[in-house]
Amino acid sequence: METEAIDTTKLMAEILTAGCDDYWGLYEIIRGLNTAHPNVKQEVSVAAVQVAMSKLLACGFVQLYKGKTCDPVPEGQCDGIIQDPGSWEPPAQQGPGSYISFATTKAGEAAYHAGNFDVS
């Protein structure tokens, strides 16, 4: 299987766009990336999204949530969740109460609309 480069800046823009209007499951980012880049290996997609999401979290541009009630994940737990391969699986594979979603923060929306979100 071939691999192709994933543009981190474009990926961050896609993440911010997705989270502007609603909560999005982390697995949905992977699903979209796999559709856009069908020749990219799954582990390459997950690694690219982990990097992009970590950068956005560090800047306060996105917030993680857990469970169906969308309880905010404390900042100190975000890195562990992002690095956990199970966080990127669809809800049926994650187990009860472990669904991880995200939303774009007001700061993230402002950065996105200003085109100032490349935190590479």
pLDDT digits (tens, 9 = 90+) for 47-59: 999 999 999 999 9
Specify whether the CB–CB gap between 34 and 40 falls below 8 A: yes
Does pLDDT of 74 surpass 60? yes
pLDDT band of residue 80 (cuts 50, 70, 90) is: very high
The 10s digit of each residue's pLDDT in 86-118 is: 888 887 765 555 789 999 999 999 998 888 866
Mean pLDDT for 9-34 is 92
pLDDT at residue 118, as a whole number? 67
What DSSP string describes 7-63? Answer: -HHHHHHHHHHHHHHS-EEHHHHHHHHHHH-TTS-HHHHHHHHHHHHHHHHHTTSEE
- Could you tell me which of 111, 114, 113 has the C-alpha nearest to residue 55? 111
The CATH architecture that domain 8-114 belongs to is Orthogonal Bundle (1.10)
Angstrom distances, CA of residue 28 to CA of 3, 25, 33, 113, 120: 20, 5, 8, 22, 23
Q: Where are the domains of the chain?
A: 8-114
